[in-house]
Chain A
Amino acid sequence: MSANRHPIEQEELMAYLDGELPTHKATEALSHLELCPECQTLVADFRGVSQELMDWEVESPGAGIPEEINAALGERLQKRQAASGKGQLAEIGKQSDDEPLGLGRGLGYPLRGCGTEVNAYQPQSE
């Protein structure tokens, strides 16, 4: 695929299909795609791969909220209610048992949503 004949890179074409190109680039990609059989084939290939993965269905998990979650939820809401009653909302997060499972303790994900930054997840080589 030469740069002269294809004003858009293959990677950009893929990004276009993923809805990840800015509007002006997407318009350019679409215009080219309408006229280029070679890129149409590439697009069909990408869509074929996506379809294979979309066909990878899994069965549904069990129904209902598991008991352990219900219990933790009840405990959590009770604590919050108690703290709220005492005007101690700001203290909730400081309770020792409030630490999530490994979160903020080096499990890896940068939990910016939790106000905690730790190491990044690193996929492991197998």
Chain B
Amino acid sequence: MGKTPPNDCADSAGAPTMTSDEALMLEFQGGSRAAFEELFARYRKPLYGFFVRRLNNPERAEDLVQEAFLAVIRAASRYEPRALVRTYLYGIALNLLAAERRKFLTSSALGQSAPEPKTDGTPECVLWVQQAMEKLDSPDREILMLRECEQLSYSDIAELLRIPVNTVRSRLFRSRLALKSYLESEAKTNPALRTNAGQPHPRTRGMQ
């Protein structure tokens, strides 16, 4: 946990020697195509992961990533480096996600069926985590995902969702305990599935 280097579930970009995202954004604002391309390279995959984990639809996730970057291009002139670019991008992503969900709700109300989540080829352990996540309350799930998958800080999450930092912390605590409980009970009913919850994971053993 903590601020860890990016991995697949936490692939925010940036290394100490690289130009900061905020500097790149300002360069882009000043007319640099290369700066935009660098930002695109840094955040395409994290944003894609953001959408695909929440919508389970790779094609739609690609579309929404594109929409997010188009929004960045159109809003570039008004960007001020008061917020981290990362937080700014996830804010756009959350808005697009909310709009997408509203669209599905409207479609459902009109009797049209929303596309089925695509689970073909999804590893069983991932399906298992997805199912456990679905049992969490929606706001708690979002906070947990922003923390664990997007690796946002408590204050970043608080800023994005406009809730107090203490609320982020208490909901995160609650959702982690709930997820652990779901995963453990699932592991009991289906022993073939491995679990990291409730026992030290091989990668973290000895870290205490």
List residues of A whose CB falls within 8 A of some B CB. Answer: 10-11, 14-15, 17-20, 33, 40, 43-62, 65-66, 68-69, 72-73, 76-77, 80-81, 84, 92-93, 97-103, 107-116, 120-126
Contact = CB atoms under 8 A, between A and B. Distances in A.
A66 B183 contact: no
A112 B78 contact: no
A110 B138 contact: no
Given A19-B2, A51-B203, A66-B66, A111 B91 contact: yes
Contacts of B61: 61
B179 interface: yes
B36 A44 contact: no
5 contacts: A19-B2, A47-B1, A73-B73, A107-B99, A114-B78
Nearest to B90: A109
B196 interface: yes
A44 B39 CA distance: 36
Contacts of B91: 109-111, 121
Contacts of B144: 53
Q: Is the contact region of chain B dominated by helix, strand, or loop, or is it mixed?
A: helix
Contacts of A81: 31
A126 B62 CA distance: 23
B78 A109 contact: no
Contacts of A111: 75, 88, 91
Contact of B53 (A58, A61, A73): A58
Contact of A53 (B65, B80, B149, B161): B149
A54 to B, nearest CB: 5
Interface in B166-208: 169-170, 172-173, 176-177, 179-180, 183, 195-201, 203-204, 207-208
B117 interface: no
Given A45-B198, A113-B82, A115-B80, A55 B129 contact: yes
Given A68-B66, A111-B75, A114-B80, A52 B162 contact: no
A114 B81 CA distance: 9
A121 B98 contact: yes
A113 B125 CA distance: 38
A61 B50 CA distance: 12
A47 B208 CA distance: 10
Nearest to B29: A80
A15 B154 contact: yes
Contacts of A123: 138-139, 141-142, 161
Nearest to B208: A40
A14 B176 contact: yes
A53 B176 CA distance: 11
A76 B74 contact: yes
Contact of B7 (A15, A54, A109, A112): A54
A11 B75 contact: no
B76 interface: yes
